[in-house]
Structure 1
Amino acid sequence: MYITISPQKLGDSYSTSVADFVEYLEKENKELHSDHQELFFSQDLELISPKEVVREIDANTAKLKTTEPRYYSLTINPSQRELKHIGNDPEKLKNYVRTLMKDYASCFNREINGRPIQASDILYFGKLEYARTYKGTDREIHENAPYSNRIAKLRNEIRKVDRGELIGSIKALEKEILQLQKEAPHKLDGKMIEQGMQKPGSQTHVHLIVSRKDRSNSVSLSPGSKYKASEVKLQGRIVKRGFDRDRFFQKAEERFDKQFGYRRNYVEAYTSRKNLQHNPKLYYSKLLQLPVSERKLAMQLIKLPAQTLPPIPNAQIRLAIKQLKKALEIGMRSGSIGY
């Protein structure tokens, strides 16, 4: 499970409307008949129109400055392995989001009328999407880059030859391009993977538009707060503030595992990915200590051959850690990790 939390951002100031983002989330619907379009949902409702989403979010911005976000964007990105476990069932995924939002609310160090924040206080709208395209941060694009760059240069040379600006054989240049496309390490249906191509397999994920203000339009709830938990004096009274992202990401995994009986592999866990970033030796040692079947699965999940794990501590370990860290970082940036 990979979750992102991003503030609304357009240049140096924030747009006064969520309309552009809602329009962006309608991209898959543009290819579908109205009877088959995916509408928004909330904690309690289904079949919510884009117009209603814009109206509700735009109206819930009392006392916010132009330098403050009106809403936050959350993406809930199950891995392909997680999606397979739930049968890629959109209803199960929506139910998961609704229970997850209870955890989201509990991770705020805020109170409303002397009580903790609850899911019913959060104004949000969710939208399921079923497809993803390859981006520059994906492992496949990254490793195909040397071939793509060379092909781009050759195509530029072909144009110059065609215009008479360069002497050469267009046929020979085209032959070289075909050879590079064959040699590229990552292909899909026989074609070299390039940016913009649709990813194969289950890619279902959820976009959430979450209002900065609570449903009463009186309390500011920022998951982007740099504080996990603190207190500040405002207008003569003590106000709690903060949001615990670590706790939220951890609870998101625990919620999925408990709700669907999912057995999470070591490399899928948020805590192990944190170890990879901050304590790679610990990450590596725990990976080596896994039972053979679990370690084999771990290497399949991060798409590295088992021989990248040398059995004894030596110089190879540093290389293995570097490769593992690079693989995980690229996967996490892609938003789909590819389990």
Structure 2
Amino acid sequence: MYITISPQKLGDSFSTSVTDFIEYLEKENKDLQPDHQEFFFSKDQERISPKEVVRAIDHNTSKLKSTEPRYYSLTVNPSQRELQHIGNDPEKLKTYVRSLMKDYASCFNREINGRPIQSSDVLYFAKIEYARTYKGTDREIRENAPFSNRIAKLQNDIRKVDRGELTGSIKELEKEILRLQKEAPHKLEGKIIEQGMQKPGSQTHVHLVVSRKDRTNSVSLSPGSKYKASEVVLQGRTIKRGFDRDLFFQKAEERFDKQFGYRRNYAEAYSSRKNLLHNPKLYYSKLLRLPVSERKLAMQLIKLPVQSLPPIPNAKIRFAIKQLQKALEVGIRSGSIGY
């Protein structure tokens, strides 16, 4: 499970309306008949229109400065394995998101009238999307770029030769294009993956727009706070502040596993991914000690050939870590851990 939390945009000031973002989230509805369009949903409502979302978020911004975000964008991105486990069922995903927002609320170190923040205090709207397209920042696009750029130049050269503006053999240029197309590292159904192409497999995910202010439009709830938990004295009153993102991501994972009886592999766990980033030796060491079946699945999830991990005695663990690190780095560069 991969979750992101972002302010409405980066910059010195923020738009006073959520309109542009909501219009962006309507992209999958543009070519659909009304009966087949996807609506927004909230804590206790279904079939909410874009106009209702804009009205609710835009009117819930009391006392916010132009340098403060009016809303935050959350995306809930289940892996393809997690989607397969729930049958790619949008209703199950809705149920999960509604439960997840209880965890979101509980991770604020804030109080309203002396009580902890609850999900009923959070003003949010969510929408399910079913497709993703490749963007310029995706690894496949970046690694294909030298080939795509060269092909584009050759195609332009062919047009120039055809118009008599350039001398050369169109046949040889076309032959070079075919060679580049074969050598490009990432292809989909025989075609070079390019920006804008739809990604394969189940890509169901959820976008949420969450108001910066609580439902009463009086308390600021910022998941972008740099504090996990702290207190500050304002006008003689002690105010709690902060949001624990780390705890939220951990709870999100635990919520999914418990709600759907999902058996999470080591390679999928949030704690493992943190170790991979901050303490890779510990990550590799634990991976090597997994039972054979679990280790085999972990290697499949990170797209690394299973045969590269034979049983290794504890006495050789240090050497194995160095060798595995090199192998894993190659595997991670050429694949994905599904997040």
TM range (shorter): over 0.9
Q: How does 1:1-339 map onto structure 2 within 5 Å?
A: 1-9=1-9, 11-309=11-309, 311=312, 312=316, 313-314=318-319, 315-323=322-330, 326=333, 331=336, 338=338
Deviation at 1:295, TM superposition (A): 1.4
Structure 1: segments with no counterpart, 5+ residues: 332-336
Matches of 1:163 and 1:276, distance apart in 2: 55
State the secondary structure of the residue aligned to 1:123: strand
Kindly provide the amino acid, as one letter, of the partner of residue 144 in structure 1. Answer: N
State the secondary structure of the residue aligned to 2:73: strand
Deviation at 1:203, TM superposition (A): 0.6
User: Structure 1 residues 111-120 or 296-305, which shifts more?
Assistant: 296-305
Matches of 2:305 and 2:136, distance apart in 1: 23
Task: Write the deviation string for residues 63-87 of structure 1: whole angstroms up to 9, x where unpaired.
Answer: 0000000000000000010000000
Deviation at 1:4, TM superposition (A): 0.3
State the secondary structure of the residue aligned to 1:264: coil
| TM-score, length basis structure 1 | 0.92
State the secondary structure of the residue aligned to 2:213: coil
Q: 1:214 to 1:324 in 2, by over 3 A?
A: farther
Q: 1:232 to 1:142 in 2, by over 3 A?
A: same
Matches of 1:288 and 1:160, distance apart in 2: 57
State the secondary structure of the residue aligned to 2:45: coil
Task: Write the deviation string for residues 7-58 of structure 1: whole angstroms up to 9, x where unpaired.
Answer: 0116421000000000000000001001110000000000000000000000
State the secondary structure of the residue aligned to 1:131: coil
State the secondary structure of the residue aligned to 2:128: strand
Matches of 2:287 and 2:149, distance apart in 1: 36
Deviation at 1:321, TM superposition (A): 4.7
Equivalent residues of 2:304, 2:328 under 8 A apart = no
Matches of 1:318 and 1:290, distance apart in 2: 16
Deviation at 1:307, TM superposition (A): 4.9
Deviation at 1:159, TM superposition (A): 4.0
Matches of 2:38 and 2:135, distance apart in 1: 24
Equivalent residues of 1:280, 1:321 under 8 A apart = no
Identity %: 82
Aligned residue pair count: 332
Q: 1:120 to 1:21 in 2, by over 3 A?
A: same
Deviation at 1:302, TM superposition (A): 1.5
Matches of 1:324 and 1:251, distance apart in 2: 29
Structure 2: segments with no counterpart, 5+ residues: none
State the secondary structure of the residue aligned to 2:27: coil
Kindly provide the amino acid, as one letter, of the partner of residue 278 in structure 2. Answer: H
Matches of 2:59 and 2:257, distance apart in 1: 36
Matches of 2:164 and 2:267, distance apart in 1: 55
Equivalent residues of 2:212, 2:221 under 8 A apart = yes
Kindly provide the amino acid, as one letter, of the partner of residue 76 in structure 1. Answer: V
Matches of 2:146 and 2:297, distance apart in 1: 30
| TM-score, length basis structure 2 | 0.92
Cα-Cα RMSD: 1.9
Deviation at 1:146, TM superposition (A): 3.6
Task: Write the deviation string for residues 171-191 of structure 1: whole angstroms up to 9, x where unpaired.
Answer: 221222122222333322222
State the secondary structure of the residue aligned to 2:67: coil
State the secondary structure of the residue aligned to 2:75: strand
Deviation at 1:163, TM superposition (A): 4.7
Matches of 1:110 and 1:324, distance apart in 2: 43
Corresponding residue for residue 334 of structure 1:
none
State the secondary structure of the residue aligned to 1:177: helix
Larger RCO (CA under 8 A, 6+ residues apart): 1
Matches of 1:306 and 1:145, distance apart in 2: 30
Task: Write the deviation string for residues 121-161 of structure 1: whole angstroms up to 9, x where unpaired.
Answer: 00000000000011233343344334323323323433443
Q: 1:97 to 1:66 in 2, by over 3 A?
A: same
Equivalent residues of 2:102, 2:119 under 8 A apart = yes
Equivalent residues of 1:22, 1:50 under 8 A apart = yes
Equivalent residues of 1:141, 1:194 under 8 A apart = yes
User: Structure 1 residues 89-98 or 231-240, which shifts more?
Assistant: 231-240
